Amino acid sequence: MSEHQHIRSDGTVSFLPHRLNRHPVVVRGLTADELWMCCGLSGAVGLLTGAPLSWLFSTIALAPTFIVVGIALGVFVGGGILRRKKRGRPDTWLYRQLQWRIAISYPLLAGWVRGHALVTRTGYWTVRRGVQ
């Protein structure tokens, strides 16, 4: 194929790859942003679990151990769950879902995530046509 076959007469390119602007999958179906969210949340849960136990048993080593175990479980278990939930949905589904849940559950935080821009109306939609 010659290189001129993909260039139209107006100078635009007729062929663009479908997945050009998608974030690449890094681990277990998670993109880099999703992986950071998963690691951060599961690490925080590991810290909240390990800190009281390290105080109770008087050994500081339990806190980082629970953080590492929490991150490992979060990435492998959470990544598998999230991969199943994302299957067949658009790339922005997770972010819109989180935005919608925050806008519905926590209206005071909706401005921070631009939740007011979402359509949150519930009910039936009708098409009103003029009677002729």
Reported as a single tens digit per residue, the pLDDT across 6-20 is: 667 776 666 666 566
Q: Give the 3-state DSSP-derived string for the chain, with helices as H, strands as E and coil as C.
A: CCHHHHECCCCCECCCCCCCCCCCEEECCEEHHHHHHHHHHHHHHHHHHHHHHHHHCCCCCHHHHHHHHHHHHHHHHHHHHHHHHHCCCCCCHHHHHHHHHHHHHCHHHCCCCCHHHCCCCCCCCCCCCCCC
The answer on pLDDT for 33 being more than 60 is: yes
Two structure tokens written together for 84:
């199943």
Is this structure's pTM higher than 0.75?
Answer: no
Residue/partner pairs of 123-131 with CB below 8 Å, 24 or more apart: none
What is the pLDDT, as a whole number, of residue 45? Answer: 96
What is the pLDDT, as a whole number, of residue 30? Answer: 83
pLDDT in tens, 34-67: 889 899 999 999 999 999 999 999 999 999 999 9
What is the pLDDT, as a whole number, of residue 40? Answer: 94
Report domain extents, the chain. Answer: 27-87, 89-119
Range scoring the smallest mean pLDDT among 22-36, 70-84, 91-105: 22-36
